[in-house]
Amino acid sequence: MIALDVSNSMLAQDYSPNRLERAKLAISRLVDRLQQDRIGLIVFAGDAFVQLPITTDYVSAKIFLNTISTESVRKQGTDLGEAILTGLRSFSSTTENSKALILITDGEDHEGDVMEAARMAQESGVRIFCIGIGSEQGKPIPLPDGNLLKDEEGSIVVTKLDEATLMEIATIGNGSYIRAGNSEFGLDTIVEGMRELEKQTVTSQVFEDFDEQYMYFLGIALLFLLVEFLVGERKGRGFIV
């Protein structure tokens, strides 16, 4: 599941053309390269909901992706905890492995107990990967009317990347953190890393299963040898008498 921040701070233009559109472009390019992978989309700001349930229908994924904007969630804010909890509810009970939630956000002004949500994900076997989008110096937030967003005191609001929070979430969630770049966003890196980890896990499970089966067959073979020995001994005794 990919959870995309659609709060107003994602309109900041420290990425071209802005944070949100740059993130959507990275997701779109990832979808173009997917093969037999399942993907789902969550949008969040002050609330969160599933935009697209987990699917292999990549055409629908791109259609839903193109409709995402800062108006997709009416309640403003950045409730990372609710985004994580929505992600947990999105996985089916039959999905045992490869459950991963990728958060794409600037992480700023987070609400709720996000660390507790991350711990719940860890206990549920869902790994959390975070992609931080934004800059340390920050950027103002342009509004549709061409003005810049201001606070109650009339000062221009500058939105900055909160890396510390995202790093802590990824650590608790047994995932990793990457800061997005304009040229290399980081989404492909995370997905490829997940695939490599899955290959290692499958290989480990195959060898484990092989060892257990080997012991069973060895026990059966020893049993047949013992039976053959006892039968042969009885035949020998009968011949001598």
Sheet order of strands, 100-105 included:
48-55, 39-44, 2-5, 100-105, 127-132, 177-179
pLDDT (tens digit, 9 = 90+) per residue, 161-219? 999 999 999 999 999 999 999 889 999 888 888 777 666 554 434 434 434 444 555 56
Extract the tokens encoding 160.
């900055």
Class for domain 2-185, per CATH? Answer: alpha beta
List, in order, residues 6 or more apart from 98 with CB less than 8 Å away: 194, 198
Please name the amino acid found at residue 41.
Answer: L
91: left (phi over 0), alpha (psi -120 to 50) or beta: beta
Extract the tokens encoding 48.
């969160």
d(CA 217, CA 214): 5
pTM score = 0.81
Cis peptide before 17 (omega within 30 of 0): yes
pLDDT (tens digit, 9 = 90+) per residue, 84-104? 999 999 987 666 667 999 999
Lowest average pLDDT, out of 9-18, 31-40, 126-135, goes to: 31-40
Q: Minimal CA–CA distance to 105: which of 190, 195, 22?
A: 22
